[in-house]
Structure 1
Amino acid sequence: MTVVNKSYSSNLYSHPNKFLEDHLINVAQIACQNIMTSSVKKIGRYDKSILMRLVKICGLCHDIGKATSYFQKYLFASDEEKKKLKGMSETRHGLLSAVVSFYAAQAEFTGEESLRSGEIAFLSFIAFWTIRKHHGNLEDIIDETGVTDKDITILIDQIKSINKNKLSKLSEELKTKGLKLEITTTSMLEWVDSIQNDLKPLRRRFRRLEREKNIQPYLITNFIFSLLIDADKTEVVLGETPKRRPQFIDYTIVDDYKTTLDIKKTNINELREKAYKEVLSKEPDLDERVYSINLPTGLGKTFTSLAFALKLRNKISNKKGHTPRIIYSLPFLSIIEQNADQFERVLYTAGFNVDTDLLLKHHHLSDLYYKKDENEFEPDEAKILIEGWNSEIIVTTFVQLFHTLLSNRNKTLRKFHRLSNSIILLDEVQSIPFKYWLLMKEVLKDLVKEMDSYVVFVTATEPLIFERHEVKSLVDRGKYFSALDRVVIKPQLQGTMKVEELAEHVDLKPDKSYLFILNTIKSAKTAYKLLKTKSQHISFLSTHIIPKERLNRINEMKSGEIKVAVTTQLVEAGVDIDFDIVYRDLAPLDSINQAAGRCNRNGKNQGEVIVVSLTDDKRRYSSYIYDDVLLDITGKMLEKNDCIREKDFLNIIDNYYKTMQEKMASDKSRQLLSAVYKLKYDSTDETIGINDFKLIDYTYPKIDVFIEIDDDAKKVWEEYVRIKEIKNLFKRRLEFSQIKANFYNYTVAVPATVDNRPPEVAGFRYVNINSLEDFYDRETGFKCEGVTPIW
């Protein structure tokens, strides 16, 4: 990292104890280093050298507006004075920095033979836009071309406040690092005078973006914005970017790990090994960008996908000279820990020191823990490293991944550049809602092509996000489905029934285990209370149970201790539980298939999945949760069959997805694609923006409630209250992030409309241990209806 000669310092500061030129130069170097080590060769018409020069300009200019006397005064003011100064328009530095960067980029690229004038204008605007918003979220590109007369007045006032001698020293230092224009108060005033006129033609041009139907401008904008804000945050906390040292990891370590397991010789295990060998026998074709591992539930997709990703990673490293990261993504937190632990055991058994720079778990409740070479980082440093995906293998949620790909938010877009030069494993990909299939196809297609990445779909029910011919299948999927006969699906949909009728008529045999998957928490609670009279070894599972207890119950189910379990859909994807007979309230066919994956997984006996249609006094429970069109398609397919054997699942699910494409509209995808094309990041009342993408669409608003269920929870709550009293916002957030995972272990999300609403304490709904009975049942969780608390 270059160290500026302090004797020639401008004596302007970016942060307390940090010279402005040091920060600008270091950020430029970190951003350039990140793009240099990326395998991106070009995005659209802009090759890597052009993009690197652009991000260098962004780094060198992004905080120049801090040179004003207003900002310098704010930086060293007392806390009380800072509160007053922070709200002043003159203290802000983004727009002034953006104006300088616009003309710095023009000076950089003018005369570049490979670029047309319109392309130079576009690159200059990207510098302007990303710097203007580098402390906030991206908004509509059309709005960002606007600079008001009031803005101009403030900019002039800011420039006149700058110490000319200090600015001259700053400018000279930046010129030695490649800035091609001199920054003086005179030149800045000239740029401010010109900026409105220079942006006007761009506004007209940007209005035509939607017609071009091109995703490349979106990728370029996000790439540059991501590189800049990641470098900025990293430099402030760490001073420099951590050096990446990718290790060679042979895919055969998965084989080696499997030899340490006690794997019995059964038909299922033989099929697992056969599928594993078939996938690994395929030599990856680096020209193929989208792969698929489509295998029945329980055939070892987790280990198989990891081994294939490592094999692909090594071939890319050997042939292309760069080593991609592996990003393994799943839909639910409940299986992130499970699969990450499996990966850790594989690496540890192979002799790797499994530090966080090798294997990282990242989700909204991740611990602030980062370790590298026996060095354990401070919490603020760990936060930067974790949220920047500084690791070789990242295990994360669909929400983290897809909201990095499609977002306007600063926090999530920061890691967008990590999607380049990566192998993205999408496990349980059927969880992506149909309304986003077209959007995912178009954005992923351009991402892998332009940013040199690969995607592997891992699923038991491969949805038609891409057409079959667009995906390289790694297994003869039909062979494995036809070889299995573990489960039969028995539809009983001649009419509807109430939960009470189901509980009354079901015959619980002592030598069998039963899983009831219901569509709503209310119906599940009713079923549990009724079935409890028939079995002592019964367990209940829903999101109204605190996560700590949920995990305990899942582990009990895995161990075989539980003979009867009543749950909501949260067990359907990837949770390795196994029951002889499954009752499933009507759901879309892919959900029913997932339910079948919890039945007789190891093929001991013939398993049964009985599909019923439960109703309350008003309507079917399924209609509260699922799309009517999906239920109609499923109902018609199930009505044709009295009994569906596992070997027929593949054909039926393929027909289901084809019918979905024919009957369901892709309006939401098209609207969001339109926003992507025209770089409309935020929505208005009239039009959809990129920020309208919500992978999980909560139909009903929810509130979080802390349940003080035991002494451990009491200690966590007391720590939370202490943290809430910390006045410094940054320190308060940092300290809470250190207890966040444990805190949310005792938290449930309930409908905001719930009658039985606990009191708010320290900004959070709170049930203390003395009022537990009023709000929380230790067996079934939060009580949505209850008594009025008196305390």
Structure 2
Amino acid sequence: MPYYAHTGLKSDQSDWQELRDHLYGVGNGAQRRAEATGLRFSDFPRVAWFAGLWHDIGKYRREFQQYLKGLQHKSDLTHHKQAGAALAHLHQRPETTFAIQGHHGGLPDFADAKTAIMSDSGTPLLERIMETIRREIPDVVKETPPPPTGSRDELDLVIRMLFSCLVDADWADTAAYQDSINGCSPESVPPALEPAVLLPRVLGYIGERARRAAEPMKSIRGEILKSCLLRAEETPGFFSMTVPTGGGKTLSGLAFALRHAAIHDLRRIICVAPYITIIEQNAKVIREALGVDDEQRTVFEHHSLAEPGTSDAQDDRRAEEFARRAENWDAPVIVTTNVQFFESLFSNRPGDCRKIHNIARSVIILDECQALPPGLLDPTCAMLKALVDQAGCSIVLSTATQPALKQRDEFPHGLTRVRELAPPSMDLFERLQRVTITWPERETRWSWSEVARQMVKKSSALVVVNTVEAARQLFRELRERVDDSKSVFHLSSAMCPFHRLRRIEEIKKRREVERSCFVVSTQLIECGVDLDFPFVLREFGPLDGIIQAAGRCNREGKLVAPDGSPGGEVIVFNSEEEKSPPGWYRKGIQNLRGRLDAHGPERQDRWTRPEGINEYFASLYPLGRCDEREIIKERESLNFRTIREGRGDRRGYRIIDEDTEPVLIVDWPPIQELVASLMEEWERRPTRQLRRKFSRYQVNVRTQNLDQSMIDKRRDGLGLWLGSYDSELGLSADLMRESLII
């Protein structure tokens, strides 16, 4: 009798996919992906081939075939993944056991994997159908690789890479089959990374920008670029790029990555940043430098808004249909967020992990790396070391406020052999000093009215505050004080990316022609947003936040005081409210106050220099636990579900603690027609490329205590926002708690 993997459209079964074809197709696809990773694990491509060949052998059971024909209800008798996992366990392949057991539903904990193998659908079923399997697949146990060696810590990344190869190959084979029976052409494949073509474009772009820059900024940026290109010849591993704001980190880092990739045959560049605002801006600059546009698939922006939602449907096949639209990062240049990058690496879900195999042999630039959560630093650094040691990656720590991530006695999981792309001998922090920072008296407090009064004394000013509520209050205060309401702007993650980018462009245009401009923002503006003001106010906060806010002041160094000192003015103030986000943010404030008190006012310039910044971070981390969720222990125990979901009251590895959900803005007039057109196209054929376009018009909200009646949750995974949307503030605060917006 014929055995099938998937049903088709015809009742006579003439277009159904045969199980043998699917198993060999997935095996070959997984092997190709494994070969491309170059993973340092014995016979990894062969291991991946067997994982694909074995993953669905449980479908040879009679009950599953009856289920496909509609003659059997879905039940324990139709389970099929356990048999493949049992065969892998029989051959002492733990990495394959986990990957197969996880390809439906996610990677399990160690104990759950053992239980599944011993269940009725595991070893007992395997013994019952083994004769059929041998007849249908003669290669099923032919020349299997020997059992692996190495620690469980090393096995963690191997399992994740194998799982990723298997899931991507499985979903790609299934999608190709479905496209063929539906008469659809397959989605196009992105181009490969071509450093020999792209690097000259980037250098030409940098040269063109340099011609418009003034000295000494022009020469300093040239020195930084030259140093990066020279050090690109060094062997792959860890690098740091400690350059003050305005030094051209984005473009010099891109040039380094392209030359490094060309020399060492690396296949992808992944730029990771903490906030969506940064990746929006960086992606725009990178596209311009590479000479590509939005429609070309060279550069792909990926954040949580670009992912398919989950379905409330109970049909597993329908849920998997949503998950198959998850990204696999096959583009040559990826621009993404900390949330998307790190939570994928620590996730157990197939949709999240599909992309992991494409991280191997990449140049990974961690932009504004000081924003990595201190409470997760131990497992984060351990994973980064695994990517370097096992997956052949190079990692660049790029920031003006370099955190203390190097290994030392009190930080044993820290990074080793980190090489600086812009060495201290370049004296960049002295040469690129463009502002004077005034620190507050300990007992002096300003009201929001006083902050607004200080701002309107100037023709243009930026203020950065600690909370969303403070930003809204100050925005309203400013609107009452200025005659031209169009000169006051509010930037927030409550605005969709399209809205936020439009506002940033408006601000830039006003600044270019020196029209009055007053901007109120939370911390999202501090990292990487390319705005330039002569006067910046910053509510007292963590040191890195203050320095990053100062980076939005006198960026080009054109302002010089009469005495020759830097002309940019930054004032740090204490607010009357003194409200701040809890956790490590508040610890950072306490730590900085302690450092200032310990060293005295006469040494306040120390905190804008690398040695002071290093001291700040080194004294911050001991104030809490750098593995507060015990992820290291769970990795060693191969408890993949617990790593992501947590145990008891202890949460798993999550950059953002709260659960979030992207909502699509559909009724805001400037985008209403465009979104409606995209929705019509989505109804005809939902694709990953179309999902990417939706992300420009979505806002991520925390789901805790959210009024669910404000969201229309469709069966196709999209969530439509039914509430109002404010042209200044984004999602309206009267419809949801402001603290729910991220």
Q: Is the 8 A contact 2:592 2:616 kept in 1?
A: yes
Q: Is the 8 A contact 1:486 1:646 kept in 2?
A: no
Q: Assess, with a 3 A threshold, how the Cα gap between structure 1 residues 737 and 365 changes in structure 2: closer, same or farther.
A: farther
Structure 2 gaps, min length 5: 8-15, 178-185, 309-319, 408-414, 560-566, 737-742
SS at match of 1:391: coil
1:516 aligned partner:
463
TM-superposed CA distance for 1:340, in Å, is 2.2
The normalised TM-score by structure 1 is: 0.76
Q: Is the 8 A contact 1:485 1:645 kept in 2?
A: no
2:540 aligned partner:
586
1:634 aligned partner:
592
1:24 aligned partner:
23
CA RMSD for the aligned pairs? 3.9
1:52 aligned partner:
45
Q: Assess, with a 3 A threshold, how the Cα gap between structure 1 residues 740 and 268 changes in structure 2: closer, same or farther.
A: closer
Q: Please, which moves more after superposition, 380-389 or 267-276?
A: 380-389
1:492 aligned partner:
440
Deviations 1:306-365 (A, max 9, x none): 111111112213xxxxx432222222222223222322223328xx99942x43333333
* Alpha-carbon distance between aligned partners in 2 of 1:486 and 1:416, rounded to the nearest angstrom: 41
Residues 399-548 of structure 1: pairs in structure 2 closer than 5 A: 399-467=339-407, 470-477=417-424, 479-495=427-443, 497=445, 499-503=447-451, 505-506=453-454, 508-510=456-458, 512-535=459-482, 536=484, 537-548=487-498
1:313 aligns with 2:276: no
SS at match of 2:331: coil
2:180 aligned partner:
none
Q: Assess, with a 3 A threshold, how the Cα gap between structure 1 residues 344 and 547 changes in structure 2: closer, same or farther.
A: closer
Q: Is the 8 A contact 1:238 1:381 kept in 2?
A: no
Give the letter aligned to residue 160 of structure 2. N
1:116 aligned partner:
none
TM-superposed CA distance for 1:722, in Å, is 11
SS at match of 1:692: coil
TM-superposed CA distance for 1:641, in Å, is 2.8
SS at match of 1:394: strand
Question: Aligned match of 2:248 in 297, 300, 311?
Answer: 300
Deviations 1:209-254 (A, max 9, x none): 9xx9752121222122222112111222236996985534263432
Deviations 1:39-69 (A, max 9, x none): 23x33xxx2x2x3332222111111111122
SS at match of 1:579: coil
Q: Please, which moves more after superposition, 329-338 or 293-302?
A: 329-338
2:73 aligned partner:
85
Give the letter aligned to residue 138 of structure 2. K
1:608 aligns with 2:601: no
Question: Aligned match of 1:392 in 326, 332, 352?
Answer: 332
1:361 aligned partner:
301
1:652 aligns with 2:602: no
1:566 aligned partner:
520
SS at match of 2:205: helix
2:142 aligned partner:
179
Q: Is the 8 A contact 1:539 1:564 kept in 2?
A: yes
Q: Is the 8 A contact 1:138 1:408 kept in 2?
A: yes
* Alpha-carbon distance between aligned partners in 1 of 2:396 and 2:427, rounded to the nearest angstrom: 20
Deviations 1:715-756 (A, max 9, x none): 736976998xx8xxxx99x379836743762546378557x9
Q: Assess, with a 3 A threshold, how the Cα gap between structure 1 residues 680 and 527 changes in structure 2: closer, same or farther.
A: same
Deviations 1:169-204 (A, max 9, x none): x534522576369xxxxxxxxxxxxxxxxxxxx9xx
Q: Is the 8 A contact 1:587 1:626 kept in 2?
A: no
Q: Assess, with a 3 A threshold, how the Cα gap between structure 1 residues 677 and 366 changes in structure 2: closer, same or farther.
A: same
Give the letter aligned to residue 464 of structure 1. A
Q: Please, which moves more after superposition, 501-510 or 19-28?
A: 501-510
TM-superposed CA distance for 1:694, in Å, is 0.6
Q: Assess, with a 3 A threshold, how the Cα gap between structure 1 residues 742 and 235 changes in structure 2: closer, same or farther.
A: closer
SS at match of 2:212: coil
Q: Assess, with a 3 A threshold, how the Cα gap between structure 1 residues 366 and 519 changes in structure 2: closer, same or farther.
A: same
SS at match of 1:600: coil
2:690 aligned partner:
738
Q: Assess, with a 3 A threshold, how the Cα gap between structure 1 residues 704 and 354 changes in structure 2: closer, same or farther.
A: closer
* Alpha-carbon distance between aligned partners in 2 of 1:457 and 1:513, rounded to the nearest angstrom: 33
2:562 aligned partner:
none
Q: Which has the larger radius of gyration?
A: 1
Question: Aligned match of 2:530 in 571, 576, 589?
Answer: 576
Q: Is the 8 A contact 2:402 2:610 kept in 1?
A: no
TM-superposed CA distance for 1:676, in Å, is 0.9
1:187 aligned partner:
none
Deviations 1:492-528 (A, max 9, x none): 1422535334236526235x42001111121111111
1:676 aligned partner:
635
Query: Percent of counterpart pairs with the same letter?
Result: 26
* Alpha-carbon distance between aligned partners in 2 of 1:274 and 1:234, rounded to the nearest angstrom: 46
TM-superposed CA distance for 1:672, in Å, is 0.8
SS at match of 1:683: helix
SS at match of 1:462: coil
What is the number of residues matched between the two proteins? 675
1:291 aligned partner:
239
Structure 1 gaps, min length 5: 1-9, 107-120, 182-201, 318-322, 369-379
TM-superposed CA distance for 1:714, in Å, is 6.7
1:138 aligns with 2:107: yes
